[in-house]
Amino acid sequence: QPDMRGDLAVLQLAALTKLEQEDGPLDKTTQIRIPQVKAEALAAAGRIDEALAQYRSLVRQYPNNQKLHFDMAQLLLDGGTKSAYQQGLDEWSKIAKRCRRGTDEWYQAKYSIALAYMRLGKPDEAAQRIRYWKATSDIDQSTWKVKFDKLLARIEG
């Protein structure tokens, strides 16, 4: 349940700390996965600054790992401050440039860009971008149509 997520994240962080302190060598997959799970757990525990630091380190270490970029960008977009929204916008813009047009990832990036503009207090910019993307892509034939339409209605409503 959502209210237990923070408690579970604290337990997860404790388990990760214990795992990191193990004497024996960890296999390569586990060595890579531990910092990723730690970043997710830090975010779930509400330790956002630590989670962002962990994600930034991971993104530098694994620049081609799209999931890490997505997770960090989403955490910024959920950050609750103008600074975080701006950083989230910047990250989602970078992601959108790397995604193939018309893919689920591309739609997610474009949707997140519009949402960031809205959260930054720029609803006109968000609406203009949505209208442009709808006119120049297949959004209306995608599974993302409803999300984009709802966001546009919220902006214009």
- In degrees to the nearest 10, what's the CA dihedral of 135, 138, 142, 147? -20
Of 117, 104, 114, the closest CA to residue 151 belongs to 114
Amino acid (one-letter) located at 14: A
The model's confidence at residue 79, banded by pLDDT at 50, 70 and 90, is confident
Q: How far is the C-alpha of 157 from the C-alpha of 145, rounded, in Å?
A: 18
Q: What angle do CA 154, 143, 121 make, to 5 degrees?
A: 25
* Residue 27, pLDDT score: 76
Assess whether pLDDT exceeds 70 at residue 2: no
Q: How far is the C-alpha of 57 from the C-alpha of 127, rounded, in Å?
A: 34
* Residue 106, pLDDT score: 97
The two three-digit tokens of residue 12, written as one number: 């997860």
Whether this model's pTM surpasses 0.85: no
Rg (CA), the chain: 18
Mean pLDDT of 98-110: 96
Q: How many CB atoms lie within 10 A of CB 50?
A: 16
